[in-house]
Amino acid sequence: MSDHFVRPDVQAFLDMMKANPRPPMSDELVAYMRSLPPGAIPSLDLPVGELAVIRDLTMPGPGGDIPLRLFDAKAERAPGPVVVYYHGGGFAAGSIDSHAAVCADITRAINLPVVSVEYRLAPENPWPAAPDDAEAAARWVAENGAALGIEPTALVLAGDSAGGNLAAVTAIALRDAPAALPVLFQFLIYPVTDSQTLHPSRRTFADGFFLSSNDMAYFDRAYASDVSHWRSSPARADLAELPPAMVVTAGLDPLRDEGREYARLLEAAGVPTKLLEADGTIHGFFNYRLHIPSARDDFSEALELANSMLLEAGGM
């Protein structure tokens, strides 16, 4: 790791995790983690804090009811865009609970309601269950503002890691078959975009930077997707006429290079795109702000840039 710049607080976090290793990801570990009550696993992120609205509801999905959670910094608001958020976790882990602080701080930072989606997870529900649920949720939110207690005028599709993949895939799906509301913006946080290609960063940061090659191999096996299909690897799609996008990458992330490449492909397709790379930090830093204080500044910078792009898109 000495060949790469690592922030001091990131190094301290990596040292802490190395001193307290968890077992490698497996079906058994995933099942155990899901069996624990919320809060049983200590959070690495900041507290959710007080918010005007935090409300759970469900929607009908293609494989059964999909839980949703609405986060809103305002108890009442005028009509406007709504953020549909897809959590990360390798398509097999993560939840509305694990990403609650991120969603709460997004609504605080950009002053839009956020609907977090509890899509089906592998290995019980392999691909394409997750993109099916992600697309269904976006369409449902576009049509059911009254059930949410808001008046949405457009969608912002957002997510991190696996969720960034789902946001990108859903944006493509809704371009090809529009929802009841337009997609205004894509906010893609260290997304999985091309599982067919072994980009150099997947080798460079395969081990020692928290997201290990063994864990990534497990997630790939559990998800069992057709990596050549755009609903698994959105970089394989025609990207023309997609909504403006912001892509966030981390300098020490195995997914860094495919995030960079996806931003390049979007720009080449004529999509207004901005790439923000957080140097010297690791995959998942949005969720590690309690132990990586510099990630709080990265989070703020990313949301400020997203805000400015939303203004340019006419959504604020």
Annotated catalytic sites, by residue? 161
Taking each helix axis as running N to C, give the angle between helix 100-110 and helix 294-312, from 0 to 180 degrees, rounded to the nearest 10. Answer: 50
Q: Are 84 and 136 in contact (CB under 8 A)?
A: no
DSSP code for 62:
B
Alpha-carbon span 151 to 183, nearest angstrom: 15
Q: How far is 154 from 195, CA to CA, in rounded Å?
A: 30
Tokens representing 68 are 């949703």
CA distance 132 to 62: 7
| SS3 of residue 183 by DSSP | strand
Query: Is residue 303 within 8 Å of 189, Cβ to Cβ?
Result: no
Cβ-contact 251, 280 below 8 angstroms:
yes
Listed residue (97, 117, 81, 136) closest to 306, CA to CA: 81
Q: Quick check: 99 and 132 in contact, CB under 8 A?
A: no
**206 Cα distance to chain centroid:** 20
* Distance set, CA 295 to CA 112, 150, 199, 277 (Å): 22, 31, 25, 12
